[in-house]
Structure 1
Amino acid sequence: MDSVVTHVVAALAVVIAASHAAGAVARKLGQPPVIGQLFAGIALGPSLLGLLPGGVDEKLFPDEIQPVLTSLAQVALVFFLFAVGYELDLGLLRHQRAVTAVSVSGFVLPMLLGAGIVLLLPGGFAEVNDGRPVDATFVLYMAVALSVTAVPVLASIIKDQGIAGTRPGTIAMASAGVIDALSWPVLAVVLVGGDHGSVREWLVKAVLLVVYLLVMLFAVRPLLGWWTRRPGVTAAHRVPVAVSVALASAWATNALGLHVIFGALLAGIIMPRLPDGSPDARLLGPLQDAGGLLLPMFFAISGMAVVLGGLHGSDLLILAVICVAAVVGKVGAGALSARGARQPWRDALLIGVLLNTRGLTELIVLNVGLQAGVIGPRLYALLVVMALLTTAATGPLIRVLRRPAGVPPVARGLPDARPGPEAAPPVAAADTAPSP
């Protein structure tokens, strides 16, 4: 046990330091930190560190500590998804025609393309997926893998690029939230479909899942609301309760054959908010800090599972097909639907480019598929490369679309980094008139 603890402490030091340094380099290059952190994970795995003589990667990350590192990564995901669920706000969907159009098309078209490329090239995908069957579960999984957008990474990019509060930035953020809210249930269906148990086992799990949902919605949620309204309850009391609820909910969904992410997400959704409907920053802050500190372990585990040396030359064709389908599905759907909602072409293209950001959310989906055995190491590596390429392309494409064309950014309806009255008009105007 002492040896395991020693290796875990050393591994944590290396992973956190490498991830922080790589994330800082990525930010200096105009990229979101997740790009650098994932590259750090890949570098610490067999693709780079494993090439050094003496088995450095195996000495630093021996097999006996892998369960501990994986557990830390799962805890980080629980905190992260709880925060995502707690911040989730679908209010704009009820009021914005543009958000509705972009959300639906940005979810449906990528799913159709994801399923379509598998049905058109079943032999190629079966070969790159190490002979796994190209069945309905796999087709639906590929559809989900191409449909998600990384809301946290997108929020960071929008802030860094100075387009927060503008019509394109707000529409893209709201639409991405709706798209991911639609994607999680479909991913749950994939996991259920991949469970080849008996009909009796399925029925038992389905009943238990319904019971779990009813308890969370009609027992835990009212109880949390009553408890948080009690006099004298402070943030110091709320944080431990929120962590306990998130972990217990994650355990429940994982025990039912789904994944910890679903329970954590639902726990965040049912957590009571402030009277004005906004998240409590005193509760959200500590969970985000803890998740951010542990999240490098998730990137390390994700990166170490990428074995670039195991790819074949023929896999590049499948990678090209996946990337084209991913870009066309997101950029095309987002741009055309935004244009149909009376957005100017430049704004519409910007919305499509923003939706093409995958990053962290895509990695979660890919890890779920790898753990469930729906995809193998080779296809996993290709999909990780696709996520890196599409996310890394977002910043440069935004800068191209914002390049001056003889008209100031505000006059074009494009973002102005300055706060205050000079900023672009609110998104609500997008339903009644095009951008000035």
Structure 2
Amino acid sequence: MSIDSAVTHVVAALAMVIAASSALGAAARKLRQPPVIGQLVAGIALGPSLLGMAPGGVYETLFPDQIKPILTSVAQVALVLFLFAVGYELDLGQLRNRGAVTVISLSGFVIPMLIGAGIVLLYPGGFRSANGGHPVDATFILYMAVALSITAVPVLASIIRDQGLAGTGPATIAMAAAGVIDALSWPVLAIALIGGENGSVGAWAEKVALLAAYVLAMFLVVRPALKWWMHRPRALMTNHVPVAAALALASSWATSALGLHVIFGALLAGIIMPRQSDGAPDSQVVRPLQETGGLLLPVFFTISGMSVRLGGLHGSDLLLLLVICAAAVVGKVAAGSLSARGAARMPWRDSLLIGVLLNTRGLTELIVLNVGLQAGVIGPRLYALLVVMALLTTAAAGPLIGPLHRPAGAAPAERAGTGTATGDGQTPDTGQAPAVDAEPTPQS
């Protein structure tokens, strides 16, 4: 295929992908579901599972193999810009807070991880079969533990807004806890992937040392240099957006060169990006990156859906899917509910609502699954099962919230930042919750 032909195919494919994902994303919102549900369904529909079954080679004509690496590259760039904004807005102060959010966060992270590792150890044959015969080793067990512990902050923010929960106590606590859970998940995922290629202790230790050196260099060298450069008098580049984009892409390249995925570099770049004097992210930096990444992020969802090959699943995979879904739901809902009830002494209805909110996955889960697929930790069949699990658990949040959510006039709830009244009249420490309205552009 010539360059001109490849460009023509890529432009046409992007037009189709963006149009289909936007249309189905809007349809999902009409059904009171996060747009990511519709965008992922668009990818499955445009992939080999549905469009690939059409006669006449329609799928191969529209999406030839030669352009798939280009579409994947576009999706990865969008993901890098989006995750840089996530890291830039990440409030590491939540990790130091004590009280209800700390207990709920740790429970919502550790318990699902233990359950995820437990089902692999209890049913290794099923996972080995669905994973193409790959060994059930420590890397795989740790990866599955992380995959079941994820809560998607952007999707959660969208659900909270659409369900009228913005500003309520349970929503504020759930958002804060979800932010901490995701912040804890990325380092553990990095550790899991470091040992993926070479199981020797020496190779693992070497990669850990290189990664630690890189992180230290980013905090001790790059960050001070950026602060000096951006805040010096008569700065050459008064527009900080190009600096942020270059930093995100360069850091992503560095972590990729270290054997990790580009997302880790993007997140780290966002974390070390200097903030304003009051400690808040610069909206003039965040907004353009969110809008640029948000415009192309549906390409990532669609590419993720196109990687799902439902026709390749076996009948025995249904049992494994039920096991994975049950573990995912029980781990999150039980951990969130019991810890909210015990730590914050909240009513059972509000405690269950927090557990249901923490069970939402979506965008963050898709990122983790794509990383695992590209790293070879999981194969196409297990990837498809985990994508279906992410869809089901995210789609179930809306219907489950209805019976648990008390309307504004039925039971007074404290506004965000003031806490939620507990059963004994005390107010739990909710920490610094992220603003639920500060949602990324794609609202996914």
* TM-score grouping bracket, smaller chain normalisation: over 0.9
Q: Which amino acid aligns with 1:344?
A: P
Q: Name which of 142, 151, 154 aligns with 2:153.
A: 151
Which residue of structure 1 lines up, in the alignment, with residue 403 of structure 2?
Answer: 400
Q: Name which of 377, 380, 385 aligns with 1:382.
A: 385
Q: Offset of 1:314 from its aligned partner? A: 1.1
Which residue of structure 2 lines up, in the alignment, with residue 409 of structure 1?
Answer: 410
Alpha-carbon distance between aligned partners in 1 of 2:233 and 2:177, rounded to the nearest angstrom:
38
Indicate whether 1:172 and 2:174 are aligned: yes
Q: Which amino acid aligns with 2:86?
A: V
Give the secondary-structure state (helix, strand or coil) at the position aligned to 1:408: coil
Alpha-carbon distance between aligned partners in 1 of 2:97 and 2:248, rounded to the nearest angstrom:
31
Is contact 1:49–1:56 with CA below 8 Å preserved after alignment?
yes
Is contact 2:24–2:41 with CA below 8 Å preserved after alignment?
yes
Which residue of structure 1 lines up, in the alignment, with residue 261 of structure 2?
Answer: 259
- C-alpha spacing 1:425/1:292, structure 2 compared with 1 (3 Å): closer
Indicate whether 1:56 and 2:48 are aligned: no
Q: For residues 221-300 of structure 1, what are the structure 2 equivalents within 5 Å?
A: 221-231=223-233, 237-300=239-302
| TM-score of the aligned structures, taking structure 1 as reference length | 0.93
Q: Which runs of 5+ in 2 are unaligned?
A: 429-444
Q: Which amino acid aligns with 1:280?
A: D
Q: For residues 65-144 of structure 1, what are the structure 2 equivalents within 5 Å?
A: 65-144=67-146
Alpha-carbon distance between aligned partners in 2 of 1:255 and 1:64, rounded to the nearest angstrom:
24
Please identify, of 359-368 and 54-63, the stretch whose mean Cα deviation from structure 2 is larger.
54-63
Alignment deviations for residues 256-280 of structure 1 (CA, whole Å, 9 cap, x no partner): 0010000000000111112221111
Cα RMSD for the two superposed structures? 2.1
Q: Offset of 1:228 from its aligned partner? A: 2.5
Q: Name which of 338, 346, 363 aligns with 1:360.
A: 363
Give the secondary-structure state (helix, strand or coil) at the position aligned to 1:375: coil
Is contact 2:230–2:237 with CA below 8 Å preserved after alignment?
no
Alpha-carbon distance between aligned partners in 1 of 2:391 and 2:121, rounded to the nearest angstrom:
25
Q: Offset of 1:197 from its aligned partner? A: 6.9
Is contact 1:235–1:282 with CA below 8 Å preserved after alignment?
no
Please identify, of 218-227 and 386-395, the stretch whose mean Cα deviation from structure 2 is larger.
218-227
Alpha-carbon distance between aligned partners in 2 of 1:403 and 1:155, rounded to the nearest angstrom:
18
Which residue of structure 2 lines up, in the alignment, with residue 371 of structure 1?
Answer: 374
Is contact 1:167–1:430 with CA below 8 Å preserved after alignment?
no
Q: Which amino acid aligns with 1:266?
A: L
Which residue of structure 2 lines up, in the alignment, with residue 205 of structure 1?
Answer: 207
Is contact 2:105–2:181 with CA below 8 Å preserved after alignment?
yes
Identity value in percent:
73
Q: Which amino acid aligns with 1:87?
A: E
Which residue of structure 1 lines up, in the alignment, with residue 194 of structure 2?
Answer: 192
Alignment deviations for residues 150-190 of structure 1 (CA, whole Å, 9 cap, x no partner): 01111111122222222111111111111111111111111
- C-alpha spacing 1:434/1:425, structure 2 compared with 1 (3 Å): farther
Q: Offset of 1:427 from its aligned partner? A: 2.1
Alpha-carbon distance between aligned partners in 2 of 1:202 and 1:282, rounded to the nearest angstrom:
40
Q: Offset of 1:55 from its aligned partner? A: 1.4
Q: Offset of 1:349 from its aligned partner? A: 0.7
Alpha-carbon distance between aligned partners in 2 of 1:93 and 1:243, rounded to the nearest angstrom:
27
Is contact 1:93–1:174 with CA below 8 Å preserved after alignment?
no
Please identify, of 207-216 and 113-122, the stretch whose mean Cα deviation from structure 2 is larger.
207-216
Q: Offset of 1:227 from its aligned partner? A: 2.2
Please identify, of 204-213 and 17-26, the stretch whose mean Cα deviation from structure 2 is larger.
204-213
Aligned length: 425
Q: Which runs of 5+ in 1 are unaligned?
A: 416-422
- C-alpha spacing 1:410/1:376, structure 2 compared with 1 (3 Å): same
Which residue of structure 2 lines up, in the alignment, with residue 18 of structure 1?
Answer: 20
Indicate whether 1:182 and 2:184 are aligned: yes
